Amino acid sequence: MLDRAPTPPLTGITVLEIGAFMAAPFATMQLADLGATVLKIELPGSGDPVRATGPFVEGHSSPFARLNRNKRSVALDLKSDAGREAVLRLAASADVLVENLRPGAMRKLRLDYDSVRAIAPRLVYASASGWGQDGPLAALPGLDIMAQARGGLMSITGTPDGEPTKIGVPICDLVCALYVALAVTAALRERDRTGQGQYVDVSLYEAGVSFAVWEAGKYFATGEVGRPMGSAHQSTAPYQAVRTVDGHVTLGAVTPKTWEGLCEVLGLGALRADPRYADAFTRHAHRGALIAEIEDVTRGWTSADLVRALDEAGVPCAPIADYAEVFTDDHLHRRGYFWDAPHPVLGPVRQLGSPMRFSRTPAVRDAAGPLLGEGTTDALRAVGYSDSEIHQLAAQGTAALGDAPPDPSGTSEREDPA
């Protein structure tokens, strides 16, 4: 494990998260990993709906403990005047606010950008939503699968003539969150120059469309519309999964050197002289015949033997691992990717590491997702609330102080997320 740096990159930055489920929480998790203090604003009693998402360990959500690591939970009822006032006081001393409620919800709470900017002009305020803050789709609910569908990703995912297939992870949610985190760090850098905050609008829809690099290259050049191709590449070959005696192996032999190496390993030297296979683009045009010839050979290999031979020949390849294999992978363990975060009830909670590796200021490895409201008292004290005022808020139900478990039903009056 890397040594904990005393000053991670975003040390001193305070982030308020008014989020639920995925986009805002995953974005602020990135910022927390980089050292920002993230105050996760949750509804007293139930909190983020992910708290009610299983599987559960000792009554606590396993996904929540991982998605919300390195954060502090501040439980406030934003629909009450006192709760709104508390959030505004927190915002006045914060650097960033990230939210992913449906467009218009923050305005109803009188916590929209214009309202907050009036008392916090240096604040970077980022909204993640399904379709963006304006335009004809803005008011519609927008979940990841809808963004994958309308954004074209489902039209190119799966096999030809197969059923509509979404990408296996909520990719639009996740990449929207990464764009939010990138935009926030850029806006903070710009604030260093000008002293002014600004508003950031990122949508799941546009985040998904931004992936269409190859598809845009084809369509805007030739008018060709991308279609599902299984595991095959859009324009070069061989670059896909091929069958073996016990499964599949992915390979990519698209340069002259790797193409020659593949032919040598498989004993298909004659293919190098075939004009249909002269280069990767030409091979793609004849991919059906090419893959049939390759699989005639690879079906006689085990996956392990084929990977070993191709590795030795310098041909890019990999087996198709399931997540039991991924989460026990020797390479990842040797690089210290996985780590255990402490939790007051669950004990050590295994975490997926940050892919960002810094030579001097490594990502923070602090605590698992917080108990509901456990950071409320400290956060309110820091913005001038007395202990008697904090306990009064708790007595009114406006705040929760971390001394009661969340409602296992997960019911919440918070506006729907993006």
Residue 188 in this model has a pLDDT that exceeds 80: yes
pLDDT in the model for residue 416? 47
Q: What is the mean pLDDT of residues 58-66?
A: 96
**Is 377 part of a structural domain of the chain?**
yes
Side-chain half-sphere of 352: how many Cα atoms within 13 Å? 13
CATH classification of the domain holding 284:
3.30.1540.10
pLDDT in the model for residue 418? 56
- Residue 92 sits in the same domain as residue 163: yes
Q: How confident is the model at residue 402 (pLDDT cuts 50, 70, 90)?
A: confident
Q: Which of 372, 399, 381 is nearest to 52 (CA)?
A: 372
Contact criterion met (CB below 8 Å) for 53 and 63: yes
Peptide bond into 417 cis (omega under 30): no
- How crowded is residue 141: how many other Cβ atoms within 10 Å of its Cβ? 12
CA distance 169 to 71: 23
Kindly report, residue by residue over 288-324, the tens digit of the pLDDT.
999 999 999 999 999 999 999 999 999 999 999 999 9
Q: How confident is the model at residue 412 (pLDDT cuts 50, 70, 90)?
A: very low
pLDDT in the model for residue 3? 47
Query: Scanning the structure block, which residue is given the tokens 């890397």?
Result: 2
Name the average pLDDT for the chain: 94
Kindly report, residue by residue over 213-226, the tens digit of the pLDDT.
999 999 999 999 99
Q: Which residues contact 120 (CB under 8 A, 6 or more apart)?
A: 91, 92, 94, 197
- Residue 28 sits in the same domain as residue 153: yes
Q: What is the mean pLDDT of residues 63-91?
A: 98
Q: What is the mean pLDDT of residues 52-69?
A: 97
- Residue 190 sits in the same domain as residue 70: yes
Residues labelled catalytic: 173
Kindly report, residue by residue over 231-286, the tens digit of the pLDDT.
999 999 999 999 999 999 999 999 999 999 999 999 999 999 999 999 999 999 99
Which has more pLDDT, 2 or 177?
A: 177
Q: Which residues contact 360 (CB under 8 A, 6 or more apart)?
A: 5
- How crowded is residue 39: how many other Cβ atoms within 10 Å of its Cβ? 26
Among the residue ranges 1-10, 109-118, 361-370, 404-413, the one predicted with the least confidence is 404-413
- Domain of residue 285 covers 254-315
Q: How confident is the model at residue 413 (pLDDT cuts 50, 70, 90)?
A: very low
Side-chain half-sphere of 57: how many Cα atoms within 13 Å? 13
Percent of the chain with pLDDT over 70: 95
CATH classification of the domain holding 77:
3.40.50.10540
**Is 380 part of a structural domain of the chain?**
yes
Q: Which of 372, 376, 401 is nearest to 59 (CA)?
A: 372
Side-chain half-sphere of 297: how many Cα atoms within 13 Å? 15
- Residue 138 sits in the same domain as residue 260: no
Q: What is the mean pLDDT of residues 79-98?
A: 98
Question: Which region, left, alpha or beta, applies to residue 57 given φ > 0 means left and ψ of -120 to 50 means alpha?
Answer: beta
Q: Which residues contact 52 (CB under 8 A, 6 or more apart)?
A: 46, 61, 406, 407, 408, 409, 410
Side-chain half-sphere of 176: how many Cα atoms within 13 Å? 35
- Residue 99 sits in the same domain as residue 185: yes
Residue 410 in this model has a pLDDT that exceeds 90: no
- Residue 165 sits in the same domain as residue 277: no
CA distance 130 to 169: 16
- Residue 174 sits in the same domain as residue 58: yes
